[in-house]
Amino acid sequence: MSPLIRNNVRVTGRGDKTIVFAHGYGCDQAMWRHVAPEFEPDYRVVLFDHVGCGASDLAAYDTARHGSLAGYAADVLELCAALDLRDAIFVGHSVSAMIGVLAAIAEPERFSRLVLVAPSPCYINEGAYVGGFERGDIDSLLDFLDDNYLGWAKAIAPTVMGNADRPELAGELANSFCRTDPDIAKRFARVTFLSDNRADLPNLRIPSLILQCANDALAPDSVGVYLNERLEGSTLTRLAATGHCPNLSAPQETMAAIRSWLAAA
């Protein structure tokens, strides 16, 4: 099967450079609808859905391949090959930030820049590393998800989104979770929250922008600092945006931060 069909790839815009937008857990490419169009006058824009999300081909989901973030990174590289991408800019939100890091380590010629939006290489606290959660917290979260996925989606969305004064944002995120195939979502959650990519960070040689949100329940400021210290050539930009999804809650600030960094580069 063509990866362009498998991942529901959509290409718009114009320009010599390509920018690829990758969505976070439980979401789809629609989460970039306020940001991606802003780049269409100057870039070829690529949007896609991870397998199991959005309008991707659910039959392409493979429990072995997609049992690690490396499998999702392989999907990204296959769609890049299908589009013959070289020196593309990859913008990854949440778990897709680490998927992008793994893809860029494997085939660096495909990418010239990485933009990591609310990233985390590891969600679990260990020693001096503060990922934001104890292992027991993650286990409880995953148990809740396994027992009652729809209930979990509605309960967790406000925490992930933040911005309590704008409940419609949490509602949109919860609805996105509920549209995802529940069996795949449960497996992807374990891959997302139990992955530890800290050892991979020194292997990235491509310049990266880390966009750190304020009051992010999933990726605290300590994580942004940790990444900035360990990713060679990285830039840490702290957004005024709160919560974990600035592409929805603060699209103009997110877009401006990306444009500013690319212009400076």
Catalytic residues: 94, 216, 244
Q: What is the spatial distance between Cα 174 and Cα 154, in angstroms, rounded to a whole number?
A: 5
What are the phi and psi torsion angles at 161 (to 5°)? Answer: -75, -35
Helices and strands in the chain, H and E counts? 10, 7
Helix (H) / strand (E) containing 179:
helix 167-179
CA distances from 100 to 44, 109, 170 (A): 18, 13, 25
Q: What is the spatial distance between Cα 189 and Cα 265, in angstroms, rounded to a whole number?
A: 34
Gyration radius from the chain CA atoms? 17
Amino acid letter at 34?
H
Amino acid letter at 14?
R
What are the phi and psi torsion angles at 4 (to 5°)? Answer: -70, -35
Q: Pull the structure tokens for residue 260.
A: 């500013």
Q: What is the spatial distance between Cα 23 and Cα 118, in angstroms, rounded to a whole number?
A: 11
Q: What is the spatial distance between Cα 106 and Cα 220, in angstroms, rounded to a whole number?
A: 27
